[in-house]
Structure 1
Amino acid sequence: MTTLDVRTIPPAERHPMIHDAFAELEAGDSLTIINDHEPKPLFYEFQAEVESFDVDGYQVEQEIPGKFVAEFPKRAE
């Protein structure tokens, strides 16, 4: 599992960084994103554009205000 805390990354740089990290995952692995807001736009982007994204395994939880933890799993081959 790989974890990225993107809360301090400029918003314009977040999605490309996340896509790159996801692409490096092995099949069946998961990318954990720590964000300052619920990553709905990122979820929809992955759902539409990333064939290896396991939509059914996606999870997100707000741990505290300003801290959302989301799991972006990659399909096992």
Structure 2
Amino acid sequence: MATEDKQLDVRSEAPARRHALIFENYTALGTGEGFVLVNDHDPKPLYYQFDAEHKGDFTWDYLEQGPETWRVRIGRPAAAGGGKQTGA
């Protein structure tokens, strides 16, 4: 990470609002940018949603895997189609 990624802590958000908020932040990213998602559970279902809707155009890197807090860096790869999806 060349610059400090924004942190998006969704733990205090209503569960029904979390995915929409995360995708709003993802859509706002420029090429090569990312943010760190902070969550209170493993966001694996979110990974599958990203894979279905943005296959090859996102990166997913676990930074912390519980048991109380999960941190995942979600980003847009520098080159389209070069997305590295890890952790699922």
Counterpart amino acid of 1:53?
F
Matched, 1:73 2:78: no
- Uncovered stretches (5+) of structure 1, i.e. residues with no partner: none
Structure 2 residue 80 is matched with structure 1 residue 38: no
Larger Rg: 2
1:52-67 equivalence runs, <5 A: 52-54=57-59, 58-60=60-62, 61-62=64-65, 65-67=67-69
Residue 6 of structure 2 is matched in structure 1 by 2
TM-superposed CA distance for 1:65, in Å, is 3.0
State the number of aligned residues. Answer: 73
Give me the identity figure in percent. 37
Where relative contact order (Cα < 8 A, 6+ residues apart) is larger, the structure is 1
Q: TM-score, normalised by structure 2?
A: 0.75
Displaced runs of 4 or more, over 3 A: none
Corresponding position of 1:26 = 30
CA RMSD in angstroms comes to: 1.4
Task: Provide the TM-score with structure 1 as the length reference.
Answer: 0.84
